[in-house]
Amino acid sequence: MLEDGLHDVPAGHTASVVTYLEMLSAAPERTCADVPLRLQRVMRPDPEWYLRLFRRVGDPWLWFGRLEMARADLQRLLDDPLVHVHAVMDGEAEMGLLELDFRVQGQCELAYFGLVPQAVGGGAGRWMMNRAIRLAWAEGITRFHVHTCTLDHPAALEFYRRSGFVPYKREIEIAPDPRLIGLIPEDAAPHVPLIRR
């Protein structure tokens, strides 16, 4: 059991507070500005394509979960018909990633949700969440859930709450800094200091 108080984080690691949230009935759509975007489902995406978009969206927030997977494991995940990958498209340009995971019966995990940096802040996130909620609940689920952490965009947690998710659990995650093990460029996420030793 973790004792109260401060705890050292090993050099070369990050530490974040992870908050888990859930939605037990479909939240109403939020009003959002007209944006010239569309969602495009990508069936059985090529891992290299997927990882390029994953990096463009996730490097600023130190997303590493898919980067550390063996390619064969990632291919199996992306080939699973219960994992729905969508690209957010502006014309022919890929501007975001939405990944919905239905592998637990009756549930959907909002596994990955994000926009490339230049698309953040103009209403695209709210537009994207409206579509994510609609797609998830259209599958007959009883629970939609997501988690976020303090390495993510500073507005992420409140955004999920305003979208209808309710927090239910918190954890501390300590992990090797993905910049120091070669998964993400060292100049990514400058808001998170690199501590080598």
In tens digits, the chain (197 residues) has pLDDT values of 668 888 889 999 999 999 999 999 999 888 887 878 899 999 999 999 999 999 999 999 999 999 999 999 999 999 999 999 999 999 899 999 999 999 999 999 999 999 998 878 778 899 999 999 999 999 999 999 999 999 999 899 999 999 999 999 999 999 999 999 999 999 999 999 999 87
What is the reported pLDDT for 161? 97
pLDDT for 31 equals 84
Chain-centroid distance, C-alpha 150: 13
Q: How far apart, in whole angstroms, are the C-alpha atoms of residue 81 and residue 133?
A: 19
The confidence score (pLDDT) of residue 162 equals: 96
Instruction: Quickly count: other Cβ atoms within 10 Å of residue 23's Cβ.
Output: 21
Q: In the prediction, which pLDDT does 32 show?
A: 80
pLDDT at residue 197, rounded to an integer: 75
CATH numeric code, 13-176:
3.40.630.30
Question: What's the token pair of residue 21?
Answer: 């949230």
Ordered by start, the domain boundaries in the chain are 13-176
| Beta-sheet pairing, 143-149 with 107-115 | parallel
User: Closest Cα partner for 74 from 45, 98, 100, 52?
Assistant: 45
The token pair at 27 is 């939240």
* Residue whose pair of structure tokens reads 């952490």 in the numeric block: 149
Half-sphere exposure of 138 (CA within 13 A, CB side): 8
